[in-house]
Structure 1
């Protein structure tokens, strides 16, 4: 992922906070088998210390690719919006001379995938995921010898993704003048489509931290 200096995360806490705020769905990219395209799987994930936890159906074609090459990437994208050209026109220039762009946040985890097949280890993985996604405990006990999970566990395999590196990008025109960024955030809020409001929130948050861009 290409990252301009002004799009880089300000510190590790920035992307960690963004992930923790509920950005827990991404795309797992796995190198394809020789002569085949890469395999990409959309999936929820859970953070477990420095690792990420995933489970997928046993028939998923991703398993052979992972067994061939366990080096994978999990990408999380959010708070994105299309910014039309007129909003980005230089002060004093005709609006139609502005060049459109995309705003977004993206975090990419480069990982080594470890397949989890032991029944009790899979049950523990699910317990950790449910503690994150259903913290109220409104679910059956996950146990290898109690329904419903006793009959469901054989149909899945788990993945522990050992994170080796992280790339984080916050693309919100942080190199533009303060007035420009403030105006675009206002346009996004007023338009209010899709993820416009979260994108504007990210732009304002970064503006508050960075102020005028200084190379």
Structure 2
């Protein structure tokens, strides 16, 4: 992923706070010899204090052999994206049709070392941490070995603990454009108000204020 200096995060806190609430991504696992990579969409929990990611997948998933053969993986998360038409980015002293269209987005790529979790008690603890993250209001029974309703389902899944070893983060929101062009883009995003436009606008304005 190309990251220009103006698209770099201001500090680690920026991408960590973003990742804490953007908890759906794609786990990319190197394929076995002669096979393409596996790309598995999934929910996950990022623990910044421990530098790890927790998730789980069904036991029949075809990627397990590849993951065990090479535990070096990438978790890719992309969101807050919006298409920006060329005229929005045109130079103030030039014709609108000469503006360059682009994409706004936030992307975080975590390079990780994966550990498969098969111990029933460890899987139960991992699942309870996930449920606590996604359902802080409660409402679900605790996962426990041998206990209803989830104990009998533990054999059907495998947990995954990802140790984060490197991070690449990008916030692509016209930070290298002039204030006049940024103001125009922000106004146009608010006017269009399509999916993702509000979040993209907040990133543009927030990074400018910072």
What is the TM-score with the length of structure 2 in the denominator? 0.97
Which runs of 5 or more structure 2 residues have no equivalent in the other structure? none
> For residue 188 of structure 2, what is the aligned residue in structure 1?
187
Aligned length: 208
> For residue 213 of structure 1, what is the aligned residue in structure 2?
none
> For residue 12 of structure 1, what is the aligned residue in structure 2?
12
- Structure 1 residue matching 2:74: 3-state secondary structure: strand
- TM alignment of 1:26-37, pairs within 5 A: 26-37=25-36
Deviation of the 1:133 alpha carbon: 0.5
- The CA deviation string for residues 68-96 of structure 1, in whole angstroms up to 9 with x for no partner, is 10000001111100000010111121111
Superposed CA RMSD:
0.8
> For residue 97 of structure 2, what is the aligned residue in structure 1?
96
- The CA deviation string for residues 89-141 of structure 1, in whole angstroms up to 9 with x for no partner, is 11121111111000000001000000000000000000110110111221012
> For residue 75 of structure 2, what is the aligned residue in structure 1?
74
Distance in 2 (alpha carbons) for counterparts of 1:140 and 1:182: 49
- Structure 2 residue matching 1:146: 3-state secondary structure: coil
C-alpha contact (below 8 Å) 2:19/2:46 kept by paired residues? no
What is the TM-score with the length of structure 1 in the denominator? 0.95
- TM alignment of 1:1-215, pairs within 5 A: 1-20=1-20, 22-48=21-47, 49-209=50-210
Distance in 2 (alpha carbons) for counterparts of 1:61 and 1:186: 47
Distance in 2 (alpha carbons) for counterparts of 1:115 and 1:124: 14
- Structure 1 residue matching 2:83: 3-state secondary structure: strand
